[in-house]
Amino acid sequence: MLLDGKKLLITGVLTRESIAYATAQAAQEQGAEIVLTSFGRAMSITEKIARRLPAPADVLELDANEPAHLEAVAEELGRRWGRLDGFLHAIAFAPADALGGNFLHTPWESVQASFRTSAYSLKAISAGLLPLMRDRGGGIVSLDFDASVAWPVYDWMGVAKAGLEAVTRYLARDLGRFGIRVNCVSAGPLRTVAAKGIPGFEAVSDGWAERAPLGWDVTDPTPVGRVAAFLLSDWARGITGEIVHVDGGYHAVGAPSPRTAE
Ligand SMILES: NC(=O)c1ccc[n+]([C@@H]2O[C@H](COP(=O)([O-])OP(=O)(O)OC[C@H]3O[C@@H](n4cnc5c(N)ncnc54)[C@H](O)[C@@H]3O)[C@@H](O)[C@H]2O)c1
């Protein structure tokens, strides 16, 4: 199996629709041992969902913006496993006034909050967990939404995703010497809690299935979770600083093609 014996940390499981849940499931199916993280009021929800995984997983508290949480997580993983083979960053947040078409009027405080939680936190967690990964190497994967273009309503989250892509490349540069790979999965739109929090998200997701050569199911995060699991595995040992699109091929075409009968 792809992840036999691997010890992985999976952030961002909130519901069964979460991309992180699909990743956790794929990772366990491929032989990994996992621990989840959650924070605040979401902790109890994540704990409930964690029991639905193929193997129930423990949940540690990690608010990505709380250095003390990160220290405690690193300490607990060190005690438990003595090392870490990789982690999934499935964390994003933007205040309401940073989304939904308010781009020209978003105050700096909201821009800063979006960037800190959604982009800077990848560096924060990578640096915090480095002592557990530096001896044996491993994989770090985060979740992106194609930041090479401007989207309707995505606003400062789109800018934060551009930051996340850049953070990925800089971490790949700095962590390669430890055998640590850092990659993003650029996912197509999925109907998760995070997506439902973006007013007018349908302006982005509607029509995706028609344009994507492979079609696209906004209710199925499995294809994204499986690629994230692959990138966490040694089979991806030649890949770093990469953005892998798992979007049904949407990014590769400029307009929907008329369906021709074959
Ligand atoms: N749903 C989509 O269409 C889509 C597309 C591409 C990329 N993504 C990205 O996938 C990732 C996971 O989102 P999802 O769509 O599965 O939604 P989700 O709502 O299931 O997960 C978002 C997670 O972020 C966590 N989070 C928010 N602030 C945090 C903080 N300060 N510290 C720690 N965790 C925090 C939440 O607890 C939640 O678990 C995000 O980075 C999102 O931007 C989503």
CATH number for the domain harbouring residue 62: 3.40.50.720
User: Is 260 contained in some domain?
Assistant: no
> Using one digit for the tens of pLDDT, what is the confidence trace for 248-262?
999 999 999 887 766
Spatial CA neighbour of 152 closest among 103, 204, 207: 204
Q: Residue 129 has what pLDDT?
A: 98
> Using one digit for the tens of pLDDT, what is the confidence trace for 156-207?
999 999 999 999 999 999 999 999 999 999 999 999 999 998 989 999 999 9
Spatial CA neighbour of 146 closest among 104, 85, 210, 189: 189
Residue-by-residue DSSP string for 180-213: EEEEEEEEPP---HHHHTSTTTHHHHTTHHHHST
For residue 222, report the distance from its CA to the centre of ligand 1, in Å.
15
Catalytic residue among 7, 123, 161, 250: 161
Spatial CA neighbour of 155 closest among 204, 117, 224, 190: 204
Q: Considering the chain, what is the average pLDDT of its residues?
A: 97
Mean local confidence (pLDDT), 120-129: 98
Q: Residue 261 has what pLDDT?
A: 63
Which residues have CB under 6 Å of ligand 1? 11-12, 14-15, 18-20, 38-39, 42, 62-65, 90-93, 117, 143-145, 187, 189-190, 192-195
Print the domain residue range for 245.
7-250
User: Is 1 contained in some domain?
Assistant: no
For residue 258, report the distance from its CA to the centre of ligand 1, in Å.
34
Q: Residue 258 has what pLDDT?
A: 82
Q: Quick check: is 154 catalytic?
A: yes
Q: In the chain, how many domains are there?
A: 1
User: Is 257 contained in some domain?
Assistant: no
User: Is 200 contained in some domain?
Assistant: yes
User: Is 259 contained in some domain?
Assistant: no
> Using one digit for the tens of pLDDT, what is the confidence trace for 193-247?
999 989 899 999 999 999 999 999 999 999 999 999 999 999 999 999 999 999 9
Q: Quick check: is 161 catalytic?
A: yes
